[in-house]
Amino acid sequence: MPNRTSAPTGEEGLRHGPEKPTSVRELPRYLAELVGSFFRHLFYILSLVYEARKSILFVLTVLCLLDGVLPVAGAYLTAELLNRLAEAVMGKAVEFTPILMLIVAYFSYQFVQRINARISTMVTRIAGELVTNHIRLKILNKAKEADIGSFDRPAFYEKLENANREAGVRPVSILNATFSVISACISMVSFIVILTALHPAAPLLILAMALPGAIINYIYRRKTFEYMRRRSKDRRQMDYYAAIVVNKDLAKEVRLLDLSDTFIGKYRGVFRRYYAGIRRLVLHEGFWHIAVSFATLGANALLFLYIAFRVYRGELQLGDYSLYTGALNSILSYVNTLITTTATIYEGTLFIDNMMLFMQEPTRIVPRLRPAIQPKRGRHVIEFRDVSFRYPGTDRDVLSHINLRLESGKTTVLVGLNGAGKTTLIKLLTRLYDPSEGEILLDGVNLRDYDVRALYDLFGIIFQDFGRYAVRVDESIYFGDIHRTPDAEEVRRAAAESGAADFIDRLPDGYGTPLMRHFEENGVELSIGQWQKLSVARAFYKDSDILILDEPTASLDPLAEQEVFSQFARLASGKIAVFVSHRLSGAVSAGQIVVLEYGRVVECGRHAELMHLHGRYWELFTTQAERYRKGSDEEPPPAFQPE
């Protein structure tokens, strides 16, 4: 992949094209960089086509060479034919055979041209599909490897979204434009060579005619482009407002609160602002183009006059008139093609820049050692040694100086108010992020030295914001451990242990029922509590060494919560078990309770010890117990019995 020479500006933003020249002396530098940037982008696109399917690049090149040469051959044949016919009119021609041969040749040319055009259409359509698919897969594979931390950075996420959104249309239009530019260049150069025979200065005159149009086009493409970039917030806002009105999940609330018109109104407001600028640009560009066409047409008329005059004087034949005027017309139309297609490429370069930057995003969560260490299975000890952490792009420690020891056979309950850093601690423990300071050791070895995939395999985890997938019920449980051959018996066991079996058995197609109604008519929508049970089943399906439950019981009713607790306790025996909970009743019999406050461990010990301290835990526990007593008749949820 070629390197970008121009560094990104601002907060990882895109700077498009070389820096504008500030003086005339900088013009050559600017033009050289412009051409360089154009070819770099072109090369990148061609390399993507090559990666997608080598043969396609070859076929497209041949077709586009033919496409470039054929019009010139056609012009020559027409001219020759006219010359022969003119000779016949004047009684100079003696034989009809050359005329016949020329007609045969002319129609053969027409035939080849049509076939070429047809094949070109077919190949570019197929190439478009293949290249789009290739780019999509490239993006998905890159996203698969990107650090979770990268997703937190708006600049990265925007690049990913842009690349993904535009991958469907941009590559095809850039590809088509690229090949039509190449063939237009070939034809144009050939016609210019033909015109040189008419007068050595003719090509210069043509260039002079084409230049103003090209400059106007370039200036306005750039203006439009910059306008679009300045207004990218507007466009994202429009997308956002439109998405709210059509969003399935928000439909209930939007309907009852009657928010549709409010958001449609916001959408229209932003559109009006955005549209005013675009209209101004389009009108100004149109005006300049019309002015330039007058001048071009005038110069063109002069050249026509010159050719006609030489024919009149007998210096040129009738066929030459057709050849030269045809060449002139063709050149002007190729210039137009070049102007419009380079505009497509120019606009497409934003996509390419974005894609290049996205593909260059480094992955940092990789094994530090090569070959990486494979974790052993069975019993483990995990140690946090003076671990501090701040999220990428922020300047506040979310965790500070954490020292902690977790071992198999002992359940740890993490306790703390919202935002204390409990989930973050879990993310470090599972190496979704690396600590900013300090180290985390698994069996005495830094987490960073392990093979990441094998390390992830040790964990059975349910996050607070667990995934809901539109797949079959049994698949959604298999997802707990996709490296193992699907085992229907195990799926049923996991479902039974998580309490999900009760509702699954009542579903119309049992374990074969599709979840959600995205794709299937018979898909089912589950309640939040049911989804949660499925996610618990997913964790129970996996035979993991380290079980982590990050407040998975928040949406469960007390009865279901009790079931999950006791099953969790049974499964957790002999394993490292970490349990994040708001409800402190679960902590009473845990092997170790860790109280987090503002990212620090403020207390650590067993229930009795911490109650005895009369500190933070005691305060939280008594407040909660009090609330239960004062509240309804509802009993506090049963204590969590890990061992």
Residue keyed to tokens 């898909």: 523
- x/- mask, ligand ADP, residues 356-375, rule CB under 6 A, reads --------------------
- Which one, 398 or 593, has the nearer CB to ligand ADP? 398
Does the footprint of ligand ADP cover residue 581 (CB under 6 A)? Answer: no
Does the footprint of ligand ADP cover residue 465 (CB under 6 A)? Answer: no
- Which one, 71 or 552, has the nearer CB to ligand ADP? 552
604 has which bridge partners? 594
Binds ligand ADP by CB under 6 A, chosen from 420, 494, 500, 572: 420
CB contact set of 526 (below 8 Å; sequence gap of 6+)? 468, 503, 515, 534
The span of 3-11, 416-424, 436-444, 506-514 binding ligand ADP (CB under 6 A) equals 416-424
Residue 503: name the closest of 519, 520, 527 by CA: 527
One-letter-per-residue 3-state SS of 451-502: CHHHHHCCEEEECCCCCCCCCEHHHHHHHHHCCCCCCHHHHHHHHHHHCCHH
The span of 262-270, 293-301, 372-380, 391-399 binding ligand ADP (CB under 6 A) equals 391-399
Does the footprint of ligand ADP cover residue 632 (CB under 6 A)? Answer: no
Distance CA 594, CA 579 (A): 10
Distance in Å, CB of 640 to ligand ADP, minimum: 18
Distance CA 388, CA 43 (A): 45
Does the footprint of ligand ADP cover residue 448 (CB under 6 A)? Answer: no
- Which one, 133 or 436, has the nearer CB to ligand ADP? 436
Binds ligand ADP by CB under 6 A, chosen from 134, 422, 448, 583: 422
Output the six-digit token pair for 206: 């043509």
Distance in Å, CB of 486 to ligand ADP, minimum: 33
- Which one, 545 or 551, has the nearer CB to ligand ADP? 551
Distance in Å, CB of 417 to ligand ADP, minimum: 7
Helix axes 488-498, 528-541, angle to 10 degrees: 130
The span of 49-57, 59-67, 421-429, 448-456 binding ligand ADP (CB under 6 A) equals 421-429
Grouping H, G, I as helix, E, B as strand and the rest as coil, residue 309 is helix
The span of 1-9, 247-255, 272-280, 419-427 binding ligand ADP (CB under 6 A) equals 419-427
Does the footprint of ligand ADP cover residue 416 (CB under 6 A)? Answer: yes
Distance in Å, CB of 394 to ligand ADP, minimum: 5
Does the footprint of ligand ADP cover residue 23 (CB under 6 A)? Answer: no
Binds ligand ADP by CB under 6 A, chosen from 298, 378, 419, 467: 419
- Which one, 322 or 424, has the nearer CB to ligand ADP? 424
Distance in Å, CB of 598 to ligand ADP, minimum: 9
Name the DSSP class of 25.
Answer: G
Burial of 582 (0-12, 13-18, 19+ CB in 10 A): middle
Residue keyed to tokens 């671990």: 387
List Cα–Cα distances, 297 to 76, 211, 304, 331, in angstroms. 24, 13, 10, 13
Does the footprint of ligand ADP cover residue 152 (CB under 6 A)? Answer: yes
The two beta strands, 437-442 and 445-446, are: antiparallel
Does the footprint of ligand ADP cover residue 398 (CB under 6 A)? Answer: yes
Does the footprint of ligand ADP cover residue 583 (CB under 6 A)? Answer: no
Distance in Å, CB of 398 to ligand ADP, minimum: 4
Binds ligand ADP by CB under 6 A, chosen from 3, 22, 23, 394: 394
- For the chain, the C-alpha Rg in angstroms (whole number) is 35
- Which one, 238 or 426, has the nearer CB to ligand ADP? 426
Does the footprint of ligand ADP cover residue 154 (CB under 6 A)? Answer: no
Distance CA 428, CA 607 (A): 25
What number of other Cβ atoms are within 10 A of residue 46's Cβ? 16
Residue 540: name the closest of 607, 597, 481 by CA: 481
Does the footprint of ligand ADP cover residue 418 (CB under 6 A)? Answer: yes
DSSP state letters, 317-363: -HHHHHHHHHHHHHHHHHHHHHHHHHHHHHHHHHHHHHHHHHHHPPP
Binds ligand ADP by CB under 6 A, chosen from 17, 348, 421, 435: 421
Binds ligand ADP by CB under 6 A, chosen from 225, 227, 271, 391: 391
Output the six-digit token pair for 425: 């601690």
Distance in Å, CB of 413 to ligand ADP, minimum: 13
Does the footprint of ligand ADP cover residue 423 (CB under 6 A)? Answer: yes
The span of 60-68, 258-266, 422-430, 538-546 binding ligand ADP (CB under 6 A) equals 422-430
Contact yes or no for 317/311 (Cβ under 8 A): yes
Q: How many residues bind ligand ADP (CB under 6 A)?
A: 12
Distance in Å, CB of 115 to ligand ADP, minimum: 57
Does the footprint of ligand ADP cover residue 400 (CB under 6 A)? Answer: no
Distance CA 493, CA 78 (A): 82
Does the footprint of ligand ADP cover residue 237 (CB under 6 A)? Answer: no
Burial of 171 (0-12, 13-18, 19+ CB in 10 A): buried
Residue keyed to tokens 């094994």: 367
Residue 304: name the closest of 283, 276, 325 by CA: 325
Does the footprint of ligand ADP cover residue 424 (CB under 6 A)? Answer: yes
Distance in Å, CB of 567 to ligand ADP, minimum: 23
Site of interaction with ligand ADP (CB under 6 A): 152, 391, 394, 398, 416, 418-424
